[in-house]
A and B are shown apart, each in its own frame.
Chain A
Amino acid sequence: MDNNFKKVVIIDYQLGNLFSVKQACDTVGVNAEISSNREDILNADALILPGVGAFIEAMNNLKKFGLDTAIQTKVNGGTPIFGICLGQQLLFTESEEFGAGKGLDLISGIIKRFPETIKERKVKVPHIAWNTIFKLNQEWDNTALKDLNNNDFMYFIHSYYVKPKDDDCILTLTNYDGIEFCSAILRNNIFATQFHPEKSADKGISIYKNWALINKLL
């Protein structure tokens, strides 16, 4: 099939800035459409799960539109998915936040909040900053990060972060004011970042391009 017809669905569950995600896709030539339709997701060649805001509200919205099971079906069947920010967190088992409950559970692990203090020193939360990403065990050569260097800057804006059960899925780490956390994951068809590549200038846009190339979407 002609790759021009490969269709990426940007999942719209009524939270977050989808405009810039769509803009990033357009810039690198990915054929992406924004949708909150279950059928569109089931028919997609790849998925992007963006999002800003509260975990609990996001899961409620996904369930309301019947998208949670659609995403699980697709990803378990091998369809590539790219989670961004809250979209990364939703892929995990559950949030530590009281009453927030379960996520999509495609990756084992929990969502934690940054502490307000460390050793009586105040930590500013949310973490809103350009910060560096660095390697743990995985190399970046054949990943969406292939054009990046260790310690390149990406744009972060979040109060929560993921803590995977197994380290092997950790693609990048970031240190915010003494707290080291997982800032991107990769396991088979699942790729996700805590930072916003679509807000991280040229290097961020290269992540969209390379994710699309690796998954033969271009």
Chain B
Amino acid sequence: MATLLEIDSLQTHFFTSAGVVKAVDGVSYTVDEGETVAVVGESGCGKSVTAMSILRLIPWPPGKIVGGAIRFDGKNLLDLDEQGIRDLRGKDIGMIFQEPMTSLNPVLTIGLQLTETLMAHTDISEAKAQERAVELLGMVGISEPERRLEQYPHHLSGGMRQRVVIAMALSCEPKLIIADEPTTALDVTIQAQILELMKDLTKRLGVAMIIITHNLGVVARYADRVNVMYAGRIIESGTAQDVYYNPKHPYTLALLKSVPRMDQARQAKLDPVEGQPPDLSQLDGGCAFRARCRFAVGKCAEGYPPLEKVTDTQSVSCWEKDNLEEKAS
């Protein structure tokens, strides 16, 4: 499969009165056509900021993309002018946000919001746009689509609103969809419905997807490849199987051990990652995880370990990656 999106050493920093917060500090990953890539990590690890950087939605001040490149379909998105990036948003790259109440405009009808995107990006008459909107709502499983077009977001439940957002994201037949915690605000049975719908539609329409989440179960269910982020960098990437069955970074290992499993009787107490994530404005040159890492050695303080390939599909950023297995046992 051809590479659709390539993020190369992206750096997005926030210049605050308390100092420079390096929210994203050298992130690189690729997304192939039609594949689903997960970015997983805890609050403040930079997973959302990376996604917002792709569409250049970082508000300045205080945030700014200070380095790197984002190549999409051969173009560097960071070189586009304002009109160029606006043409791309919602057309070639669709976006689904976490909170469906805030990503829809409460004073506009569903129909208007759906047709607005269509008419902004394509040469389509209003009547045709209406038809397409009805078709889209039907596709995402909303009953009585004609009637829904006249309704406002508050008439719909959270799950229904997220379906509308998905319909909007898909409306201009994008090549890539960025889904930022798309189901975090939803109940489990509704979450399952929405994720199943997204998986089904992306596979059927051949759309690539970046799914950003903190939920390791969601990643296991839906992602082809996984990037694990910590303190503004990717610390491990690989196929879902690589990362879950053969984690090579101490943080990934610790993260997997700290989640209780619903499918297994309780074996033992949880094994949490001790301590807190670091303050992103106080990072030194060393590995950001070393303070919480039980495998840390002297070298970890000296320099940040590069993200290096350990197999064809898996890369890890850890000085001790080759000794990890031996030390863990």
* A and B pair up: no
